[in-house]
Copies of this chain bind each other. A is one copy, B any other.
Amino acid sequence: MASRAKATILDIAREAGVSKSTVSLVLQGSGLIRPETALKVRKAIEDVGYVYNRGAANLRKAHSNVIGMVINDLTNPFFAEMAVGMERVFQSAGIVPFIANTAESPVRQEEVLKSLMEQGVAGLVVSPARGTAPGAFRRLETAGVPVVFVMRRLPESRIPVIAPDNHRGAYLATAHLIGKGHRRLAFFGGSPDLVVYHERLGGFREACEALGIAPADRLVFEGETSRKGGIACLETALAMAEPPTAALCFNDAVAFGVLLALRKRGLEPGVDFAVVGFDDVAEAEHYMPALTSVSVNTAGLGERAAHVVLKMIQSRTTRAEDHIGAVNLVVRESCGPDRDGTRRAGMGDAA
C-alpha cells in the first residue's frame, strides 16, 4: 500500500524540474534560492510525500544534531522530572532528544551507549546507572562526544557533572532535626556504591558532629532507595533496643516508605517519629503528612545540564565546568508542628 520505494531528493528534483543541489539547498533553508523556486520545490516535497534521510545527510556532514538522554530509572518520578527539564531546553533549541532508559543496569547502559554512538549522537546527558564501571565512558571520550553527567557522578572521571549540593542539603536537614530536639538520629537508605550516598551521609555526619550528637547516636541503615527500602529501614531501626527518634532519608521514595511503615505501626509521623526526605519530588507536597524535604530544583538541574551539553557541542569541546546546584530545606509537616524541645505526646497511639 502507498507509494513504494520512498522518494529521494532526486525524485523531488525531477518533479520540480530543478537539480538535486537546488532541492538540498531548499531543504537547508538557504537564502540563495529564488523564493518562487523554493516554493515549487516545497510543493513537490509535499506532493511526493518525501521524507528527509538524516542518515545519508550525516554521512556527509558528520553533524548529527541528535542528542541522547540516558536515564537510570524512568519509573522514578524524580528522574522523570529531571528529564522533562532537559527536554524543555532541547525543544527550544529545535532538537528532539532521544531518551533511553538503563533501568539501573550497567549492562543495559552499555548497550544503550553503544547504540547511541552508532546512531552518531552529537552529545549526551547521562545519569549513570548504579555500579557503572569506571571505564564505561571511555569509548565516548575517545570518540570526542560531549557528555555531561547529571545528578550522579562516577568515582573518578573527567566528565563534567551537574548535581545538587548534596552535602549541604543533608547538613541542613540534619540540623533541622537536631533543632527539633532529636538526639538520636538515623540515616535511612542508599548504599555506598553511589557517590551521592557518601555526599549525603557526609553532610549528615558533619551536622551531627558540629551540633553535638555523639557518634553512638548516629545510626546509619543502608537499604534500597525505594519505598520498600524505607519500610525495611524503619522496621529494623525500631527493632533496636534504643531506637532513633528521627531519620534523614536518602531520598523521598525512602521517606514515603517510612511514613507508610509508621502509619502501619500505629505511629504518627512527625509526632512519634520525624522524617525528612531528599529531592523534594512533586508528590512530597501532597503527601499525608506533607513531607519535609531537601529541594534540589530537579528540573532546573536538568535544564542546566542540557544547556551545558549544548554549549559543549557548539564549541566542540569535551570539557566543561562542574555545576553544584543550590539546595534548600522545605519544611512541611513530617517533622512535627513545633520546635519546642518538648515533643508532643501523640494524641493516642492507636491508628
Contact = CB atoms under 8 A, between A and B. Distances in A.
Contacts of A100: 96-99
Given A99-B100, A99-B101, A54 B55 contact: yes
Contacts of A77: 75, 77, 80
Given A80-B80, A100-B98, A288-B288, A139 B74 contact: no
A56 interface: yes
Given A3-B142, A96-B112, A75 B84 contact: yes
Interface in A94-146: 96-101, 103, 108, 111-112, 115-120, 139, 141-144
A81 interface: yes
Interface in A230-261: 256, 260
A277 B100 CA distance: 30
* Interface range for A: 35 or more
Interface string A41-73: 000000001011111101100000010000000
A100 to B, nearest CB: 6
A201 to B, nearest CB: 26
Contact of A286 (B91, B112, B260): B260
Contact of A74 (B1, B80, B108, B288): B80
13 contacts: A1-B318, A2-B142, A2-B144, A3-B142, A52-B118, A54-B55, A54-B118, A55-B55, A55-B59, A74-B84, A75-B81, A84-B103, A87-B101
